Structure 1
Amino acid sequence: MTTTITRLLLAALLGGAALSASAQSVPFSKDKFSDKDGLKNALREIKAGDEAYQADPPRYTAALPHYLQAQKFNPDNAGLNVKIGDCYLHSPSKMASLEYLQKANKLDPTVDARLHYLLARALHLNAKWAEAIKEYQQSRPVSNPNGGEEGSVSADDIARHIRECKNGQQLVKTPVRVFIDNAGPELNSTDSDYGPVVSADESTILITSRRPNAPNAKKDPNGDGYYEDIYLATWKGKAWGKATNLGEPVNSDGHDATVGLSPDGQHLLVYVDDKNGDINEANLRGTTWGRPQGLGSRINTVHHESSASYSPDGRYLYFVSNKPDGSRGASDIYRVEIEGRGPAVNLGPEINTPYGEEGVFMMPDGKTMYFSSEGHNSMGGYDIFKSTYLDGHWSEPENLGWPINTPDDDVFFVTSASGRHGYYSSERPGGLGAKDIYRITFLGPEKQPLLSQEDQLLASRLQPVRQTLLAPAVAVASAKVTILKGTITDNASKQPIEATIDLIDNVTGQNIATFKSNATSGKYLVSLPSGVNYGIVVRQDGYLFHSENFDLPANAAYAEVVKDIPLKKLEVGATIILKNIFFDTGKATLRPESTAELERLQKLLTESPNLKLEMAGHTDNVGKPAMNQDLSQRRAQAVVTYLTQHGIATGRLTAVGYGDTKPVVPNTTKVGRQLNRRTEFKVTAN
């Protein structure tokens, strides 16, 4: 009996304590405040906040300052603290929600049916995994009290977030070692800067910014600062140069945001905030960007297309859309051949999940894709994943891990071609503005842990990203791609030339891709994924073509090669080395890989009927001179024989073997001897 009475008394005391805790919430009423004017103003602020908070969809950014103003008058109202916490959960400062929701729970845990869920979200975003799981387990499905889908909580939401917390608990056990540096005041401003896209060699970066000093700058009516514009900067050796506004016609009176950039930096994907949200393309002609043009109905639809990335050969576009046909989730990643006629193809269940995918980025190696997903083993919101296309299938997406990924949305991660550096935007202490551009390095000196928050493009209409950093850094696998770049000029005048660059697979003879050098600077950049024997042909009307060969085995690691190319005009005396003519060692039999180069030579002779050529064979100095002479003669003749067998008159061609008598470099090294073993032609008549 005594035990029973004790338990009843204890229960009564606990119930009284709960009632006391509930009663601690202070209502906005006249009997609680003597400052009637202050109360009146606070109620006015709450009313203004409610108008935005209860809109469909809710305008959290607009509601928050009104609620904060009212909270200064009465900080102990549970309902108001819930609303403030909810607004912060939908802001760039999500983690600030925790103190308000914890206070609301302490003042009155029954004030809102969503309180356990909202508190769980705040704990989750602060990486308090175990505490968040406990609150999620106490949450129940609930509809938004204001109506509409926004703000409702489903059983699936709760179960998914519990899985995310468990994923987070596992991923933080093996953190990725990275460090990060602010890109500096030349690139960042005191306003919001985000959405970086970089050329393959990191020579050019474009960002989105909300600066008030932009031409025709005007306020965004949604309360997020000024309208977005696109800015460009170039690398100056040790830091980025000053970012400059691209101006018209790329930037308009509305929102213009960076989406993607071709590896050579000459084609820009722009998000245009029109009725639906579309992706347009702007092309660089010399030093001037053209007006962004729509990409057609196979890509842009009546639905929302938010992010995109070129394949390195420029033939395909990977893009994100929330169109319902073929979709597996809220938004999926598709691939489409830009110049083709076929429909966009959903990448399927290997990549797309029943949840949202976003922020697709294809590396210049043509095989590695980074993207963000709410599915797979995300630790919360969108996490960044990596997948590689091998043998006709995408590999299982790999979470980039903590702290690159966080419980918040991590989207729009881009890397350099080498894979050593990544770029993203972040809002954290010590930054220059609301949001700054930062450079992630996967190999470098030890730095202290930092905490940050990343914002997203308007294009995604998602929430900001938070990032934690650890040190020391470790090396990462090198990307299997070679970046070839340089300047194309006129051999005589040294002036830049806009030329066409063809990439040929010498084994199949297929034209893989075609690019152009810049019309003003003559600069070019092409991405060469490993595993291909490339023939590279540079051509322009009135000039002899120039060829290069890069035979890259599948395991060839990242390299950056600078090759300036002087084009020679089609005139008597001009000589050209045919770098894609191949013979077996010691033999004069043309290998199949030579076919594409031979066909180019045949085409040149066919299009120029008065052209006559001397075909010359050369060797190194290994072996007896007489043998070298004979080999070089037979090789030159093999080329002539091929051409005459394919319709070129015998009288237009001569074959001369020079043996080892005309080296272009000393024969003292293996590389030198390789350069001296060559086939070339000289124009003898035109």
Structure 2
Amino acid sequence: YSQLGEDGKWGPATQAPALMNAQANNAVFWISPDGNRVMIRGAYEDGVYKGRGFSMLNKEGDGWSKPQMINIPGYESLSKDMYSGGFLTSNGKHLLIYLSEEKNSFINDIYVSHLNDDNTWTTPESLGSDVNTFEYDEISPFMAADGVTLYFASNRPGGLGEHDIWMVRRLDESWKKWSKPVNLGAPVNTPKWDAYFTLDASGEYAYLSSMERTSGGADYDEVGGKNEGNILSEPQSGDYKMVLPYGKKYVMRATADSFNTVVDTIDLTIVDAYKQIHRDLYLTPEGVRIVNPDDSSRRNMDELSDDEELREGEIITLNNVYFVFAKSYLKSESYPELDKVVKVLKANPGIRIELSAHTDWIGSREDNMKLSQDRAISAKEYLEYKGVELGRITTRGYGETKPIANNMTAEGRQMNRRVEFIVIK
């Protein structure tokens, strides 16, 4: 492998670790966008070579895990010749494989295997006659980050040389209907053998293997698309990297053993030029859990009488406090519920409360913290305007950090958007 320096020049080639070079013919077919996962040629079990196929290595500290095979049903019976390879899409959900179903044949077709929800893989299926031909060779698939644009090499008629780079676009979810293949032409293709075309995340540079030149690059104006899948962070620094196209709002979920899951969002609905976004995801240790809404110390405002005596530590949820969407302005429908709070506080003149507001996980953590704090202040100001003495109410905005329900459902998110108070004295 070689690394690109800050000066824009590639460094000297360095031999990869022995784990990646265990056989006579070795190859790296895919590297994750963050550089923390590598897919290599060969099926390995706990680092021991078992036969043809594909295996994954994960970055661990200063080194790599032992390669572990990707179990692809039917691969051994389909792939009869040794000349085969693959490419994993950016989201890690679709494995594109080129293989030949005949022994001693150099005529390959491109297949796809999909990752199921239970982390098993489907039996590979041909991409169909829009991509594959009967008498010509199709190899080295590369799917752009949009999950739609496919590049591959073929020696079919209409090219400039032995193998050329062609491009098609996926038309539906069947992975069998594609646009008419387009030859990329010069300077990408040459009169000689060209294959293994890839694009960088920005779409600025293309890299390929060529018999005309050992390596090369070409400028492109456009590349992008969805990148919904799993990535691994670097084990020591926690760094991660993913490729996301514009046009959507993305939800990120960070998980780790013995830590609570953290959810954040990135809004890329407005199309802009390629850029890098820094986003830290802080995971809290297990033990900081979803608040139990059925806790005996937690009651709804509707359960209280106007003159009921409250105890220290009690949490009262206000179910009918409403704000303008994404704002801290109280809606008039909130006044009856807040008026009940005024009556309860006047009936308990010796207590003080912390009035808190909470959000669901839609939006950034920073925005949700500020929004919840502003909403808590808005509710406090109303209560004081209605006669609650100054100094009896403190406010706190918790954002999305204290959910009482599952944020993955609309019902759960509605429950998490709430105002409540706890008796602190």
TM normalised by structure 2 equals 0.61
Look up the equivalent residue of 2:361 and give its one-letter code: E
Distance 1:585 1:654, change over 3 A: closer
Instruction: Give the C-alpha shift of residue 308 in structure 1.
Output: 1.2
8 A Cα contact 1:233 1:244, kept in partner: no
8 A Cα contact 1:318 1:333, kept in partner: yes
Q: Which residue of 2 aligns with 1:578?
A: none
8 A Cα contact 2:170 2:178, kept in partner: yes
SS in 2 for 1:386: strand
Match among 132, 139, 149 for residue 352 of structure 1: 132
Look up the equivalent residue of 2:263 and give its one-letter code: S
Instruction: Give structure 1 stretches of 5+ with no counterpart.
Output: 1-230, 429-434, 443-475, 483-502, 504-511, 573-581, 602-613, 657-683
Q: Which residue of 1 aligns with 2:361?
A: 597
Instruction: Give the C-alpha shift of residue 237 in structure 1.
Output: 4.8
Q: Which residue of 1 aligns with 2:84?
A: 306
Deviation string, structure 1 residues 285-313 (Cα, Å, up to 9, x no partner):
23312333333353642513522111111
Distance 1:298 1:639, change over 3 A: closer
Distance 1:243 1:537, change over 3 A: same
Distance 1:548 1:629, change over 3 A: farther
SS in 2 for 1:414: strand
SS in 2 for 1:385: strand
Q: Which residue of 2 aligns with 1:46?
A: none
SS in 2 for 1:529: coil
Instruction: Give the C-alpha shift of residue 342 in structure 1.
Output: 2.8
Instruction: Give the C-alpha shift of residue 627 in structure 1.
Output: 9.0
SS in 1 for 2:186: coil
Q: CA–CA distance in 2 between the matches of 1:569 and 1:352?
A: 50
Q: Does 1:617 align with 2:394?
A: no
Q: CA–CA distance in 2 between the matches of 1:257 and 1:527?
A: 23
Deviation string, structure 1 residues 530-550 (Cα, Å, up to 9, x no partner):
333211122335555443322
Deviation string, structure 1 residues 382-426 (Cα, Å, up to 9, x no partner):
210122224444222221112311232211111101221112345
8 A Cα contact 2:2 2:10, kept in partner: no
How do 1:535-574 residues align onto structure 2 when only pairs under 5 Å count? 535-541=251-257, 543=259, 545-553=261-269, 555=271, 557-569=273-285
8 A Cα contact 1:588 1:638, kept in partner: no
Q: CA–CA distance in 1 between the matches of 2:125 and 2:270?
A: 27
Q: Which residue of 2 aligns with 1:323?
A: 101
How do 1:330-349 residues align onto structure 2 when only pairs under 5 Å count? 330-338=107-115, 339-349=119-129
Q: Which residue of 1 aligns with 2:243?
A: 527
Distance 1:538 1:324, change over 3 A: same
Q: Does 1:267 align with 2:37?
A: yes
Deviation string, structure 1 residues 6-41 (Cα, Å, up to 9, x no partner):
xxxxxxxxxxxxxxxxxxxxxxxxxxxxxxxxxxxx
Look up the equivalent residue of 1:441 and give its one-letter code: A
Instruction: Give the C-alpha shift of residue 619 in structure 1.
Output: 4.5
Q: CA–CA distance in 2 between the matches of 1:619 and 1:343?
A: 53
SS in 1 for 2:361: helix
Instruction: Give the C-alpha shift of residue 440 in structure 1.
Output: 0.5
Instruction: Give the C-alpha shift of residue 568 in structure 1.
Output: 4.8
8 A Cα contact 1:615 1:655, kept in partner: no
Q: Structure 1 or 2: larger helix share?
A: 1
Deviation string, structure 1 residues 39-72 (Cα, Å, up to 9, x no partner):
xxxxxxxxxxxxxxxxxxxxxxxxxxxxxxxxxx
Instruction: Give the C-alpha shift of residue 561 in structure 1.
Output: 1.6
Match among 167, 171, 178 for residue 394 of structure 1: 178
Q: CA–CA distance in 1 between the matches of 2:330 and 2:152?
A: 50
SS in 2 for 1:379: coil
Distance 1:627 1:403, change over 3 A: same
Look up the equivalent residue of 2:265 and give its one-letter code: N
8 A Cα contact 1:277 1:303, kept in partner: no
8 A Cα contact 1:319 1:334, kept in partner: yes
How do 1:220-231 residues align onto structure 2 when only pairs under 5 Å count? 231=1
8 A Cα contact 2:84 2:99, kept in partner: yes
Look up the equivalent residue of 2:124 and give its one-letter code: A
8 A Cα contact 1:351 1:397, kept in partner: yes
Q: CA–CA distance in 1 between the matches of 2:282 and 2:50?
A: 48
Q: Which residue of 1 aligns with 2:325?
A: 584
Aligned residues: 321
Q: CA–CA distance in 2 between the matches of 1:637 and 1:276?
A: 52
Q: CA–CA distance in 1 between the matches of 2:180 and 2:359?
A: 39
Instruction: Give structure 2 stretches of 5+ with no counterpart.
Output: 44-48, 289-322, 332-357, 383-394
Q: Which residue of 1 aligns with 2:305?
A: none
Look up the equivalent residue of 1:525 and give its one-letter code: K
Q: Which residue of 1 aligns with 2:390?
A: none
Deviation string, structure 1 residues 123-162 (Cα, Å, up to 9, x no partner):
xxxxxxxxxxxxxxxxxxxxxxxxxxxxxxxxxxxxxxxx
CA RMSD in angstroms comes to 4.7
Look up the equivalent residue of 1:321 and give its one-letter code: L
Q: Which residue of 1 aligns with 2:156?
A: 375
Look up the equivalent residue of 1:309 and give its one-letter code: F
Match among 39, 49, 56 for residue 281 of structure 1: 56
Q: Which residue of 2 aligns with 1:292?
A: 67
Match among 193, 205, 225 for residue 421 of structure 1: 205
Instruction: Give the C-alpha shift of residue 565 in structure 1.
Output: 3.9
Look up the equivalent residue of 1:360 and give its one-letter code: P
Distance 1:646 1:370, change over 3 A: closer
Q: CA–CA distance in 2 between the matches of 1:527 and 1:357?
A: 27
Look up the equivalent residue of 1:298 and give its one-letter code: P
Q: Which residue of 1 aligns with 2:20?
A: 250
Q: CA–CA distance in 1 between the matches of 2:150 and 2:101?
A: 21
TM normalised by structure 1 equals 0.40
SS in 1 for 2:107: coil
* Overall identity of the aligned pairs, in %: 25
How do 1:30-45 residues align onto structure 2 when only pairs under 5 Å count? none
Distance 1:374 1:253, change over 3 A: closer
Look up the equivalent residue of 1:418 and give its one-letter code: S
Distance 1:373 1:588, change over 3 A: farther
8 A Cα contact 1:531 1:554, kept in partner: yes
Q: CA–CA distance in 2 between the matches of 1:638 and 1:369?
A: 39
8 A Cα contact 2:359 2:400, kept in partner: no
8 A Cα contact 1:318 1:335, kept in partner: yes
Q: CA–CA distance in 2 between the matches of 1:570 and 1:294?
A: 32
Look up the equivalent residue of 2:90 and give its one-letter code: P
8 A Cα contact 1:277 1:306, kept in partner: no
Q: Highest CA radius of gyration, 1 or 2?
A: 1
Q: Which residue of 1 aligns with 2:195?
A: 411
SS in 1 for 2:96: strand
Instruction: Give the C-alpha shift of residue 330 in structure 1.
Output: 2.3
